[in-house]
Each structure stands twice: as C-alpha cells, then as structure tokens.
Amino acid sequence: MTTGVIISLLIVAAVLAWTTDHYHGNAVKYKEQRDTVTHKLALANATITDMTKRQHDVAALDARYTKELADAKAENDALRRKLDNGG
C-alpha cells in the first residue's frame, strides 16, 4: 500500500470515530432529557391524582354539611311554625 492510501484510511477512521462519538453524545443527552421529562410527567400525574381525590373528598364533605344545614333549617322552620301556632 502506498502512504497516501494509508493516510486516507486513517482520515476516514478518524472521521468515523468522531461521527460515532458525536452521535453517541447526542443519544446520551436525549436519553437524559427523556428520563427527566418522564420523571416530571410521573410527578405531575401523581399530583393530579392526589388533587382529584382531595376534590372528591371535599365535595363529599360539602354535600354532607349542606344536607345537615338544610335539615337544621327545616327543623328550625318547623319549630318556628309550631311556636307561631301557639305551641
């Protein structure tokens, strides 16, 4: 082989090594970004699930207290009518 062919092969090998390293670095960077975003998405979904559960709990409490308030008002109205009727 001539010196020119050997030098050309070395240059091609160096370019291939650089290209491989470049794309490997990009792949690692994108994998880290994907993992970070996936983790943040899991946290957001957990937060949404927790907030939904709390919202349902608050709605149940609200319904309970609204019913108790309506029952107490009905009882007060009945007692008021009874007193108004003299009894």
44: domain range?
Answer: 23-86
The Cα 49–Cα 52 span in angstroms is 5
Confidence at residue 86, expressed as pLDDT on a 0 to 100 scale: 85
Confidence at residue 32, expressed as pLDDT on a 0 to 100 scale: 98
Report if residue 12 sits inside a domain.
no
Confidence at residue 1, expressed as pLDDT on a 0 to 100 scale: 65
Distances (CA, A) of 18 to 22, 30, 84: 6, 18, 97
Report if residue 1 sits inside a domain.
no
More confident residue, 1 or 57: 57
pLDDT tens, residue by residue, 32-75: 999 999 999 999 999 999 999 999 999 999 999 999 999 999 99
The Cα 53–Cα 50 span in angstroms is 5
Report if residue 4 sits inside a domain.
no
Q: pLDDT category, 30, cuts 50, 70, 90?
A: very high
The Cα 12–Cα 19 span in angstroms is 10
Amino acid at 46: A
Report if residue 2 sits inside a domain.
no
Count of structural domains, the chain? 1
DSSP one-letter code for 79: H
Q: pLDDT category, 77, cuts 50, 70, 90?
A: very high
Report if residue 52 sits inside a domain.
yes
Q: Token match 């880290």: residue?
A: 32
Give the mean model confidence (pLDDT) for residues 18-45.
Answer: 97
